[in-house]
C-alpha cells in the first residue's frame, strides 16, 4: 500500500486540529475580530475537519492499517483515533452555533471549544503513540509523538496567520497583536519540529533481524502441455550456426513442488537529498518567511506580511507531506 495517502491523512489531522487550537487561542485572547473567528470556525469545521474525517476513513482507518501494515503500529492507541476525531468534530458544531447566534454567551462557547481542543490534542497523542514504533530508538519514541503536536502548531499557526493577514486588508486599523501572536506560534512550532527531528535522528528500522523465507506451491509444468511446448521446447535451433541445443525436460512431481526464496523485510532510511529538502524547504524557508512576516507585522505592513505568510503556507504544507512520507517509508 502506498504511503502518500496515509501521509496526507496525518498532515490533514495536524492541520485541522492545529488550526482550531490557534483559532481557539485567539478567541480566548478576545482581541480578534469576532467576525473573523466566526468565519474561520465554520471554515475549519466544514473544510479541514470534514476532509480529515474523509481521509481517515478512506486511507487510514484502523481496520485498513491493521490489514496492510502488520509491523510497528500500536493498535492499543490507534483504535482511539476515529472516536476522538469524531467527537472533536462534533463539539465544533455547538461551538460555532453559539459563536454565530449568541456571541454574548462567551463562556459557554469557550467550554465547548476547550473540550474540543482537549480531544484534538488527545487524538494527536494517540496517533503519535500508535506510530512511535517507527522511530522508537530515542527516548522510546517520545520525540516522534511530540513532533505530531509541533506539526499541528506550525501548520495551524501559519494557516490561521495567513488568513488573518487577509482579514487585515479589509480592516487596516485593527490591532496587529493577534496576527503577531499567531505568527509567533508558527515560529515556535517550526523550531520545535526541527528540534524533535534532530533529537529523533534518521529513521532506521528493520522488521526482522533475519531474512524471512517465503514459500509458494507451484503446480508442475507438465500439467499444462501447451505451455510446456511454448515455453520449454525440447529443441532450440540457433540461426547463427547449425548447432542444436537441447533444453532440459522438467521432471514431473505429483502434487506440485515447493519453491522457497529468501525475501528481505528490512528498510533503512538513508536518503540525504530528501532529508535536506525536508529541512531546507519544509522547515527552513517557512521559518525564515514567518520571521520576516513577524518583522513586517511589527511595522504594520500587513499586506507584505500576508504575502510572506502565503508563501510560508505552501512550503510548510509541502515540508510536512514530505516529512510524513519519509517517516512512513519503513512501513513499505
Per-residue pLDDT tens over the stretch 216-235: 333 444 444 444 444 444 44
Q: Is 327 exposed, middle or buried (0-12, 13-18, 19+ CB in 10 A)?
A: buried
pLDDT in tens, the chain (332 residues): 578 899 999 999 999 999 999 999 999 999 999 999 999 999 999 999 999 999 999 999 988 888 876 567 899 999 999 999 999 999 999 999 999 998 788 999 999 999 999 999 999 999 999 998 887 777 888 998 999 999 999 999 999 999 999 998 888 778 899 999 999 999 999 999 999 988 876 654 433 332 333 333 334 444 444 444 444 444 444 444 444 444 455 455 454 444 444 433 333 444 677 778 888 988 999 999 999 999 999 999 999 999 999 999 999 998 899 888 888 876 55
DSSP annotation of 242? S
Q: Which of 9, 38, 56, 36 is nearest to 96 (CA)?
A: 38
User: What distance lies between CA 295 and its chain's CA centroid?
Assistant: 30
212: β partners = 263
Which of left, alpha, beta for 72 (phi over 0: left; psi -120 to 50: alpha)? left
Q: Which residues contact 259 (CB under 8 A, 6 or more apart)?
A: 215, 216, 217, 218
187: β partners = none
Q: How far apart are CA 152 and CA 10, in angstroms?
A: 10
Say if residues 213 and 262 touch (Cβ distance below 8 Å): yes
Which of left, alpha, beta for 245 (phi over 0: left; psi -120 to 50: alpha)? beta
Positive or negative, the CA dihedral 98, 103, 107, 109 is positive
Q: Is 244 exposed, middle or buried (0-12, 13-18, 19+ CB in 10 A)?
A: exposed
What H or E segment, with its residue span, contains residue 269? none
Q: How far apart are CA 325 and CA 269, in angstroms?
A: 11
Q: Count Cβ neighbours within 10 Å for each residue of 262-288 and write b for 16 or more, e otherwise.
A: eeeeeeebeeeeebebbbebbbbbbbe
Strands 204-206 and 266-268: antiparallel
* DSSP assignment of 307-318: HHHHHHHHHHHH
Given this model, what pLDDT does residue 262 score? 40
* pTM across the whole model: 0.78
Say if residues 83 and 53 touch (Cβ distance below 8 Å): no
Domains along the sequence of the chain with CATH: 4-206+266-331 (1.20.1630)
Quick check: helix, strand or coil at residue 265?
coil
Q: How far apart are CA 117 and CA 245, in angstroms?
A: 76
Given this model, what pLDDT does residue 239 score? 43
- The tens digit of pLDDT for each residue in 78-106 reads 999 999 999 999 999 999 999 999 878 89
Q: How far apart are CA 328 and CA 127, in angstroms?
A: 13
Q: Count Cβ neighbours within 10 Å for each residue of 169-204 and write b for 16 or more, e otherwise.
A: eeeeebebebbbbbbebbbebbebbbebbeebeebe
DSSP annotation of 133? G
- The tens digit of pLDDT for each residue in 20-31 reads 999 999 999 999
Given this model, what pLDDT does residue 1 score? 57
Rg (CA), the chain: 27
Q: How far apart are CA 219 and CA 258, in angstroms?
A: 9
Q: Which of 163, 206, 204 is nearest to 186 (CA)?
A: 163
Amino acid at each position: 500500500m502506498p504511503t502518500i495517502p496515509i501521509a496526507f491523512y496525518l498532515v490533514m489531522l495536524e492541520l485541522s486540529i492545529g488550526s482550531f487550537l490557534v483559532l481557539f487561542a485567539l478567541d480566548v485572547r478576545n482581541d480578534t475580530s469576532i467576525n473573523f473567528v466566526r468565519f474561520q470556525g465554520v471554515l475549519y469545521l466544514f473544510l479541514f475537519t470534514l476532509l480529515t474525517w474523509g481521509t481517515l476513513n478512506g486511507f487510514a482507518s484502523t481496520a485498513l492499517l491493521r490489514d496492510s501494515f502488520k509491523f510497528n503500529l500500536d493498535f492499543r492507541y490507534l483504535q482511539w483515533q476515529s472516536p476522538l476525531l469524531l467527537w472533536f468534530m462534533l463539539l465544533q458544531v455547538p461551538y460555532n452555533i453559539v459563536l454565530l447566534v449568541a456571541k454574548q454567551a462567551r463562556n459557554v462557547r469557550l467550554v465547548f471549544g476547550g473540550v474540543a481542543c482537549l480531544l484534538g490534542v488527545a487524538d494527536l497523542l494517540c496517533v503519535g503513540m500508535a506510530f512511535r514504533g517507527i522511530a522508537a530508538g530515542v527516548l522510546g519514541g517520545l520525540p516522534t509523538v511530540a513532533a505530531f503536536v509541533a506539526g499541528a502548531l506550525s501548520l495551524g499557526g501559519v494557516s490561521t496567520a495567513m488568513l488573518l493577514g487577509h482579514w487585515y486588508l479589509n480592516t487596516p486599523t485593527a490591532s496587529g497583536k493577534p496576527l503577531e501572536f499567531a505568527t509567533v506560534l508558527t515560529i515556535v512550532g517550526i523550531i520545535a519540529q526541527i528540534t524533535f527531528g534532530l533529537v529523533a535522528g534518521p529513521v532506521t528500522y528493520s522488521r526482522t533481524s533475519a531474512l524471512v523465507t517465503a514459500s509458494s506451491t507451484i503446480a508442475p509444468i507438465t500439467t499444462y502441455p501447451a505451455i510446456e511446448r511454448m515455453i520449454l521446447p525440447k529443441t532450440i535451433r540457433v540461426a547463427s550456426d547449425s548447432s542444436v541445443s537441447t533444453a532440459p525436460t522438467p521432471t514431473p512431481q505429483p502434487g506440485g513442488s515447493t519453491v522457497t526464496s529468501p525475501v528481505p523485510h528490512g528498510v533503512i532510511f538513508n536518503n540525504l537529498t530528501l532529508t535536506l529538502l525536508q529541512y531546507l524547504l519544509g522547515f527552513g524557508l517557512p521559518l525564515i518567511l514567518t520571521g520576516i512576516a513577524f518583522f513586517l507585522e511589527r511595522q504594520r505592513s500587513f499586506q507584505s506580511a500576508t504575502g510572506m505568510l502565503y508563501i510560508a503556507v505552501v512550503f510548510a504544507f509541502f515540508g510536512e507531506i514530505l516529512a510524513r512520507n519519509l517517516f512512513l517509508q519503513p512501513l513499505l
